[in-house]
């Protein structure tokens, strides 16, 4: 069962949002209540991505909300993007991941680094969900050190040839196109768009996951894949640009995690007020109050952190290190809230009747992908000391 | 044809209503506001009719009586798809005052059909639509759960005891709608929200219509009694409690 969703706003953060932000939030919240909450447990239990929602998400405009209207986006600001991610993740991290990847890892690089022809060709159809994209950076042997990637891009006459494999790719088998990062003959990282129907391009799904069960994760394999020259990003040389994509995604995750946390807290609070033990509500016991009070405190801090980060990002001033700190802090917070909420619910917490265990298992992925928990700490460490500990 | 939809701004239905200390006002400090659900369905149906009309319905407008705090609700209605909005700048004190203000604001605008929700989910007055029709000297049909346009005629299903009746009407008319008028309210898309920025929201001065009623005080409902669980294998205990404790059998 799902309780009515009343996320906490302990410090009146709503007052920091514009009317437009609130409309964005309520639209996505209504959609999630209507179309995600009723189906998500079954989808996760059956390890199935509910693919019918892609067109709905496209019509709603959650793909590329900050991309300009001329390319099919909505032209909204980054706080709106964050609110959308939080509301989607209230439904499920897997659903939010689909929108994150489409927006930050596929549409954003095409918009930021693509040629005008690439933008016109792909962005409007990605915005509606007619096309789905994925992002290939991580490899089987290279996760936190993408600079060591082995995938290659070789120039051969009027085209390039792509060889290699990418791992842990959200949307792998449902994607029509992939944004792929590969090294050229000089060992320089290049970015390109690969279409799935190209000979030599294959995708598979990773089965038996205990996390993000309602979204597709898998592998991409490139075996002598011919890439037209006009599908390569013209001016990309190095890792800076793919990391810019990750910054955009990590920013959305910092917001998104709050949605999962708020759903868990909302569930735990209402359950604790209803459930009687020893003739009293669970919520009347000090140890349960401690859990709930700490949860709302942590969620409030996370809300303030992303609101400020959103203001900075709107002004073009949010640094990668700030985004890393927010992603790390908020995902860890959400995972802790999910675990504590699971305890408040007792045995009921492990069932699919409540969303808590599903969020908890999802967040075990979220804390690792888009830069692991440890790597983000080292990014902060490098930023404050000036010494990079992982190169 | 021009359609007008009357919009009320009401607390979200999940809001826990708190009263002020003297119980004669509602504490609005932490209320989330939404479009009255019946009005939202009316707007949805109006937009469906417009889209299916092949251009014969030229516009769907909205009107609201309220202060500037309602503008977010009106922007949401514009994001859903309304073409323009009018806000009469006055607190909505009672149905009579609201109907009077709306009638004055639109008397020269020649709307062909005016849609109102049958009630608002906050005060459930159910009086505004009928009063508005009287002020405008227009026909009205209430409890409408289905609305179709066939040529120059409106076909309306009215909910009545035991079923519904089908009536026809011609414009201009006030249609007071019930649930069922549209399947589900529309959710604004992100592009709709951006487009709403550019749509006109006209604020007009109120005429100062006075309310005919006033709220004296409110009484919250009795809190729910604790639930008593009875073993499924012990129906005698259930009968005993219903007879001797609840005294209902």
Contact B145, B180 (CB under 8 A): yes
CATH code, domain with B165? 3.40.50.620
List, for residues B85-96, the tens digit of each pLDDT value: 999 999 999 999
Q: Which residue of B has its CA nearest to A6?
A: B14
Residue B230 lies in a domain: no
Residue A345: closest CA among A251, A247, A294, A272: A272
Residue B238 lies in a domain: no
Is the peptide bond prior to B172 cis by the omega test (within 30 degrees of 0)?
yes
Contacts of B124 by beta carbon, 8 Å cutoff, 6+ apart: none
Residue B168 lies in a domain: yes
Which of B76, B191, B226 is nearest residue A61 as measured by Cβ atoms?
B191
Residue B211 lies in a domain: yes
Q: What range defines the domain where residue B188 resides?
A: 2-220
* Residue B223 pLDDT greater than 80, yes or no: no
List, for residues A327-344, the tens digit of each pLDDT value: 999 999 999 999 999 999
Which of B34, B76, B194 is nearest residue A69 as measured by Cβ atoms?
B194
End-to-end Cα separation, chain B, in angstroms: 59
Active site residue A315: no
The C-alpha atoms of residue A213 and residue A183 are separated, in whole angstroms, by: 32
Confidence of residue B173 (pLDDT cuts 50, 70, 90): very high
List, for residues B68-112, the tens digit of each pLDDT value: 999 999 999 999 999 999 999 999 999 999 999 999 999 999 999
Confidence of residue B34 (pLDDT cuts 50, 70, 90): very high
Given A87, A155, A370, A391, which residue is catalytic? A370
Average pLDDT over residues B147-173: 93
Domain count, chain B: 1
pLDDT of residue A1: 67
Residue B201 lies in a domain: yes
Specify the pTM.
0.92
Chain A hits for B190, CB-CB cut-off 8 Å, are 24, 27, 60-62, 65, 74, 76, 80, 84
User: Between chains, do B75 and A20 touch, taking CB under 8 Å as contact?
Assistant: yes
Chain B hits for A27, CB-CB cut-off 8 Å, are 76, 79, 187-190, 193
Contact A110, A179 (CB under 8 A): yes
Residue B137 lies in a domain: yes
Give how far B230 is from chain A: nearest CA, Å: 15
Least confident of A220-224, B193-197, B201-205, B210-214: B210-214
* Residue B139 pLDDT greater than 70, yes or no: yes
Residue B246 lies in a domain: no
CA A327 to chain centre: 10
Inform me whether the C-beta atom of residue B76 falls under 8 Å from chain A C-beta atoms: yes
Residue B86 lies in a domain: yes
User: Between chains, do A74 and B189 touch, taking CB under 8 Å as contact?
Assistant: yes
User: Between chains, do A74 and B34 touch, taking CB under 8 Å as contact?
Assistant: no
Both tokens of A388, joined, read 């990079």
**Can you list the residues of chain A whose pLDDT is less than 50?**
none
Chain A hits for B191, CB-CB cut-off 8 Å, are 61, 69, 74
The C-alpha atoms of residue A358 and residue A45 are separated, in whole angstroms, by: 9
Chain A hits for B79, CB-CB cut-off 8 Å, are 23, 27
pLDDT of residue B6: 98
Q: Which residue of B has its CA nearest to A75?
A: B194
List, for residues A220-249, the tens digit of each pLDDT value: 999 999 999 999 999 999 999 999 999 999
Higher per-residue pLDDT: B230 or A42: A42
pLDDT of residue A390: 81
């Amino acid at each position: 069962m799902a309780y009515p969703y009343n996320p906490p706003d302990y410090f009146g953060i709503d007052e920091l949002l514009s009317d437009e932000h609130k409309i964005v939030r309520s639209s996505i919240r209504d959609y999630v209540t209507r179309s995600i909450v009723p189906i998500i447990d079954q989808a996760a239990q059956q390890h199935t991505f509910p693919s019918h929602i892609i067109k709905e998400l496209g019509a709603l405009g959650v793909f590329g909300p900050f991309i300009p209207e001329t390319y099919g986006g909505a032209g909204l600001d980054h706080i709106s993007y964050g609110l959308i991610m939080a509301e989607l993740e209230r439904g499920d991290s897997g659903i939010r991941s689909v929108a994150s990847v489409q927006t930050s890892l596929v549409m954003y690089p095409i918009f930021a680094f693509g040629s005008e022809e690439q933008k016109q060709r792909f962005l409007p159809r990605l915005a509606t969900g007619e096309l789905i994209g994925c992002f290939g950076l991580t490899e089987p042997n290279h996760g936190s050190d993408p600079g060591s990637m082995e995938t290659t891009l070789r120039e051969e006459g009027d085209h390039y040839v792509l060889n290699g494999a990418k791992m842990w790719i959200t949307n792998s088998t449902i994607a029509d196109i992939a944004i792929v990062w590969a090294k050229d003959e000089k060992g320089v990282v290049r970015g390109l768009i690969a279409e799935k129907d190209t000979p030599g391009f294959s995708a598979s799904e990773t089965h038996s996951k205990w996390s993000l069960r309602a979204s597709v994760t898998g592998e991409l394999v490139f075996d002598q894949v011919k890439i037209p020259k006009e599908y390569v990003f013209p001016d990309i040389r190095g890792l800076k640009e793919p990391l810019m994509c990750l910054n955009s995604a990590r920013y959305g995750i910092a917001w998104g995690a709050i949605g999962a946390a708020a759903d868990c807290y909302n569930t735990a609070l209402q359950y604790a007020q209803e459930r009687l033990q020893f003739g009293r509500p669970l919520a009347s016991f000090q140890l349960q109050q401690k859990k709930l009070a700490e949860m709302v405190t942590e969620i409030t801090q996370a809300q303030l952190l992303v609101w400020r980060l959103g203001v900075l990002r709107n002004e073009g001033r949010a640094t990668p290190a700030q985004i890393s700190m927010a992603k790390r802090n908020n995902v860890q917070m959400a995972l802790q809230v999910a675990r504590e909420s699971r305890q408040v619910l007792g045995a009921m917490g492990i069932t699919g009747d409540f969303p808590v265990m599903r969020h908890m298992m999802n967040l075990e992925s979220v804390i690792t992908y888009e830069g692991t928990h440890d790597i983000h700490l080292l990014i902060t460490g490098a930023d404050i000391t000036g010494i990079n500990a992982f190169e | 044809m021009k359609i007008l939809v009357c919009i009320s701004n009401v607390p979200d239905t999940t809001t826990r209503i708190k009263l002020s200390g003297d119980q004669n006002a509602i504490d609005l400090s932490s209320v989330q506001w939404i479009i009255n659900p019946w009005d939202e369905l009316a707007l949805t149906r109006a937009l469906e009719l417009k889209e299916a009309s092949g251009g014969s319905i030229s516009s769907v407008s909205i009107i609201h009586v309220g202060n500037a705090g309602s503008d977010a609700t009106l922007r949401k209605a514009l994001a859903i798809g309304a073409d323009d909005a009018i806000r009469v700048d006055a607190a909505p004190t009672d149905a009579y005052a609201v109907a009077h203000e709306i009638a004055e604001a639109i008397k020269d605008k020649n709307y062909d059909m005016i849609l109102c929700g049958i009630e608002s989910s906050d005060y459930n007055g159910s009086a505004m639509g009928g009063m508005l029709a009287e002020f405008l000297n227009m026909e009205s049909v209430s409890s409408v759960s289905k609305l179709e346009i066939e040529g120059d005629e409106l076909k309306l299903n009215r909910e009545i005891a035991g079923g519904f009746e089908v009536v026809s009407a011609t414009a201009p008319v006030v249609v007071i709608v019930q649930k069922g008028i549209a399947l589900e309210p529309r959710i604004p898309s992100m592009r709709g929200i951006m487009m709403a920025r550019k749509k006109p929201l006209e604020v007009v001065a109120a005429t100062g219509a006075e309310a005919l009623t006033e709220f004296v005080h409110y009484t919250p409902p009795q809190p729910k009694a604790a639930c008593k669980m009875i073993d499924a294998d012990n129906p005698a205990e259930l009968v005993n409690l219903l007879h001797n404790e609840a005294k209902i059998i």
